[in-house]
Amino acid sequence: MQGLYISNDSGDLQISSEYQDMALKYIKHSSNNSIRDAELFAIRSDDNSYMSPRPPPNMGGSGYNTGSGLVYEFTINFLDVATKEKLGLELFNTDGQTYYNSNYNSISVIDSVSIDTDTSNTIFFQKDYGDKKIAVILQKDIAYFHYQPYAQRTNVFTSVFNITSTNTLTVRMNETFAIGANYTPPPAKRLEFLVIDVTNY
């Protein structure tokens, strides 16, 4: 291997000149899930809220309140490199793109979860992450469709996440939007997400 390679005491890769880093772009509070154009984002719900990391799709449906919490957006474009402090470490690839800048916070993945779920809205995942402040990046969502003939609409249930102030993560299914038609494809039962450490953000 050529170039720079930095690992931690456990041998896990931290920085490499072969991989482009994802940098924290901003943190904002969201009272509903309105992000559609973010390159990559993580969510951390308010203490007593279940938050959906997925906005309602553009299918002519209506969105419901999908919880509140913090949204962390990441980018591979270091937009304001020139205005950042000149101290620290920067890596560039052969065409001059910034691969890493130590003045930005990077993503630190501490858990990867892949589970099959049922179609109830009961809890199907819960884990305590101790003293690490955490957020969740959704990779693959579940979907359950329930048609209500009297209302002539299909209610769509997807995954929602609660993270307490003591960093216990709880995941369940919740109705997050509705489609004004009888739309009942087979349910998607596989849920995949990453848990990241946002303690120092």
pLDDT in tens, 60-76: 555 565 788 999 999 88
Predicted local distance difference test score (pLDDT) of residue 14: 63
126 and 157 Cβ atoms separated by less than 8 Å? no
Query: Average pLDDT in the 79-94 region?
Result: 70
159 and 116 Cβ atoms separated by less than 8 Å? no
Split at pLDDT 50, 70, 90, the class of 106 is: confident
Tell which wins on pLDDT, 128 or 54. 128
Predicted local distance difference test score (pLDDT) of residue 1: 46
The string of DSSP letters for 124-149 reads: -EEEE-TT--EEEEEEE--BEEEEET
Domain segments of the chain as ranges: 5-197
Contacts with 169 (C-beta within 8 Å, 6 or more apart), sequence order: 125, 126, 127, 128, 129, 134, 136, 161, 162, 163, 195
Predicted local distance difference test score (pLDDT) of residue 167: 96
Predicted local distance difference test score (pLDDT) of residue 85: 66
- Which among 97, 167, 90, 171 is positioned nearest to 135, based on CA atoms? 167
CA quadruple 87, 88, 94, 98: dihedral sign: negative
3-class DSSP state of 21: coil
CB atoms within 10 A of CB 42: 25
- pLDDT tens profile 146-192: 888 888 888 888 899 999 999 999 999 888 878 878 888 888 889 99
- pLDDT tens profile 5-43: 666 666 666 666 667 778 888 898 886 555 656 678 999
50 and 67 Cβ atoms separated by less than 8 Å? yes
Structure tokens at 76: 């591979």
Predicted local distance difference test score (pLDDT) of residue 77: 78
